[in-house]
Amino acid sequence: MNRKAKKFAAAGAACLLAMSLVTGCSSSQTGSGNPAITMDGRNVSMGEALLYTEVMKSQYESYYGDQIWDMEVSDGVTFGQSLKDGVTEDLVKMSYLASVADQYEVAVSDEEKANYDTYVSNFKQNLGEDVISENGITDDDIRNLIEMNSVSNTVYQKIINEATVELSDEEKEAARCIKVQHILISTTDTTKEDENGDTVDMTDDEIAAYKDQQYATAEEALSRAQNGEDFQALADEYSSENAGFEFSFDKNGYSYSQQSSMVEPFYTAAWELSEGQISGIVESEYGYHIIKCVSENDETETAQAISSAENSKKQSAADEQIQSEIDAKQYSLSDDWNNYTITSPDVEETTAESTADTTADTSAETSADSAEDSADETASETESAAE
């Protein structure tokens, strides 16, 4: 399955227990209690499958509209088909994980079940009674999907926790984080006031002159730093507001404590420094940086990075184990599910068609690239259960 659509598919699982954020769109394809997927006698109904799909569709469409499904994400594969493939994978995995819940002593508590009526009500309200009705989704479909999602999540996490892994020396070295301090002379303030007091953009010549002036300021700050003046005092004097003074990150520029990434020119230059060394002037989209390496191994940040690497390796081991067990089982897809498609609705007015075509031509690739980022935020807590 296409990775970007798979990321989005994972977002659907994250939304299942937060339906107050979901707004749906209607579908002309209906389901029933008939199975969509059967695995060793355990069924996922068409109603459950269509409900899961509608939740995910609504998330995608909240960013990109409903004309995305016929766009190609790879040769001959549309967003709609890619998403459906992801739905199938997710439901198979969730169904399998739920089927082994007893082995991991996982069960739904009475307290959790007591909340199901509220969840059912929220689904109906936020997806819309028309969507629920047209897709043949029953209250039991909603309850079953919520329970399967919850149980599979817990089982999956237990499998991860039980996995035993050990990082190699190379993997530990890859997790090492450095600590740096920096001064930033900003070049982002490229506006000015005109004669009427309004804020307008600078001309190209004015921007060039402004950057030259800022570069000269950076040279001045660098000279003072190289002459031994206190680096933090210089940062207080020269750095733009909210520039940040001290950062720790790995070779890819990722900061585990801040859960953010540095821009490429900054972290590349920083990793070339030895402890105590000061860089030259490094230009990024934010301006001119002067970087000082404080430590070639920030032990606290490195420990977080190693823990993250271990968790990732455990998750990979768990994924391989689960997929191997799924591959050893027999499951089938019903004709109803095989015939189900996700397509963009017809655009009735010529003007609307023109707009949709223009959007498709200019944004298909952008949508594919950015969909992963948008979905990652939504799926960060429960993506592991859906994949």
Q: pLDDT per residue over 180-217, tens digit each?
A: 999 999 999 999 998 888 999 999 999 999 999 999 99
Distance CA 25, CA 15 (A): 15
Q: Phi-psi region for residue 80, left (φ > 0), alpha (ψ -120 to 50) or beta?
A: alpha
Helix (H, G, I), strand (E, B) or coil at 9: helix
Q: Which residues of 7-44 are buried (b: 16+ CB within 10 A; e: fewer)?
A: bbbbbbbbbbeebeebebeebebebbeebbbbbeeebb
Residue with tokens 């970087």: 291
385, pLDDT greater than 90: no
Mean local confidence (pLDDT), 105-132? 87
Angstrom distance (rounded) from CA 113 to CA 135: 24
CA–CA separation, 112 vs 135, rounded Å? 26
**pLDDT at position 70:** 95
**DSSP designation for 65:** -
| pLDDT at res. 359 | 45
348 pLDDT band, cuts 50/70/90, is: low
Instruction: Work out the number of other CB atoms within 10 angstroms of the CB of residue 318.
Output: 20
Measured between alpha carbons, how far is 174 from 158 in angstroms, rounded to an integer? 27
- What is the rounded CA–CA span in Å between residue 225 and residue 292? 9
CB 345 within 8 A of CB 66: yes
- Average pLDDT of the chain is 83
**Better pLDDT: 3 or 220:** 220
CB atoms within 10 A of CB 167: 14
What is the average per-residue pLDDT within 328-337?
91
Instruction: Over range 304-330, report the average pLDDT.
Output: 94
What value does the mean pLDDT take over residues 253-268?
95
pLDDT for the residue 347: 66
Whole-number pLDDT of residue 40: 81
Instruction: List the domain boundaries for the chain.
Output: 3-165+308-386, 177-296
pTM score: 0.69
Contact 104, 158 (CB under 8 A): yes
Sort 351 into a burial class: Cβ within 10 Å, 0-12 / 13-18 / 19+: exposed
DSSP reduced 3-state for 248: strand
Nearest CA among 379, 367, 378 for reference residue 63: 367
Q: Is CATH 3.10.50.40 the right assignment for the domain spanning 177-296?
A: yes
Structure tokens at 176: 């090492």
List of long-range contacts for 231-239, beta carbons under 8 Å, 24+ apart: 231/181, 231/183, 231/278, 231/292, 232/181, 234/183, 235/181, 235/182, 235/183, 238/183, 238/185, 239/182, 239/183, 239/184, 239/185
Distance CA 347, CA 108 (A): 45
Q: What is the mean pLDDT of residues 256-272?
A: 95
Tell the residue number behind the tokens 């733009």, with chain if given: 240
**326 and 37 Cβ atoms separated by less than 8 Å:** no
Cα dist from 115 to 13, 237, 358, whole Å: 18, 56, 45
Q: In the prediction, which pLDDT does 252 show?
A: 96
Q: Show the DSSP H helices in the chain as ranges.
A: 3-15, 46-64, 79-99, 110-114, 116-127, 129-134, 139-162, 169-174, 204-226, 231-238, 264-270, 299-327, 335-339, 350-379, 383-386
| DSSP secondary structure code for residue 77 in this structure | E
